[in-house]
């Protein structure tokens, strides 16, 4: 491969990585704020139709502020692995922008991101249970008091995390080999 073509490809990686790092930064800031706004300001309409609660066919009703705050907390708990994943991706893309593409740190960041995906697949069922407990706290004795939502999407996210974990492992081995080979030159 010519040096010019390599330079063009590296410049593209740097440019795209900078943009993706900025997107991850924005998402890290906006996601918690959006979740809180969703749960507190729009609790009457949104929470009753939330996918985790849709099967309960809840009536649309205003929630007391305390229940809305508990719902926000439940949604934030479920979002934590995703936020961790965005943090790791942000750091990964910053490293790519700095030229650390096949580096041990990049492999570690990718491994941590894959672990966050696997945790996300588990956090959604936990979040659905916590959300239902928050919303149904004052439900009549004969009504539902909790719901657990598990989907094939959750399983897919866990499997995708496993695949990326193996790719990160291979990437780490390749980086270690490159470091070893550089020592011989």
Q: How far apart are CA 5 and CA 14, in angstroms?
A: 14
Query: Could you say which residues of the chain have pLDDT below 50?
Result: none
Q: What is the pTM of this model?
A: 0.83
Q: How far apart are CA 149 and CA 76, in angstroms?
A: 16
What pLDDT is attached to residue 147? Answer: 64
Q: How far apart are CA 84 and CA 80, in angstroms?
A: 6
Locate 150 and state its tokens: 């598990």
pLDDT tens per residue, range 69-117: 888 999 999 999 999 999 999 999 999 999 888 888 999 999 999 999 9
Task: Answer yes or no: are the C-beta atoms of 123 and 81 closer than 8 Å.
Answer: yes
């Amino acid at each position: 491969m010519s040096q010019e073509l390599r330079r063009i490809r590296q410049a593209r990686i740097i440019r795209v990585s900078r943009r993706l790092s900025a997107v991850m930064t924005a998402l890290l800031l906006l996601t918690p704020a959006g979740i809180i706004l969703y749960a507190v300001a729009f609790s009457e309409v949104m929470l009753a139709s939330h996918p985790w609660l849709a099967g309960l066919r809840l009536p649309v009703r205003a929630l007391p502020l305390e229940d809305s705050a508990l719902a926000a907390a439940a949604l934030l708990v479920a979002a934590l692995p995703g936020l961790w994943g965005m943090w790791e991706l942000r750091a990964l893309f910053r490293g790519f922008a700095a030229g650390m593409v096949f580096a041990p740190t990049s492999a570690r960041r990718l491994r941590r991101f894959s672990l966050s995906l696997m945790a996300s697949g588990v956090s959604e069922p936990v979040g659905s249970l916590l959300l239902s407990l928050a919303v149904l706290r004052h439900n009549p004795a004969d009504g539902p008091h909790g719901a657990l939502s598990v989907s094939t999407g959750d399983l897919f996210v866990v499997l995708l995390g496993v695949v990326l974990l193996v790719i990160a492992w291979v990437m780490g081995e390749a980086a270690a080999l490159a470091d070893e080979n550089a020592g011989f030159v």
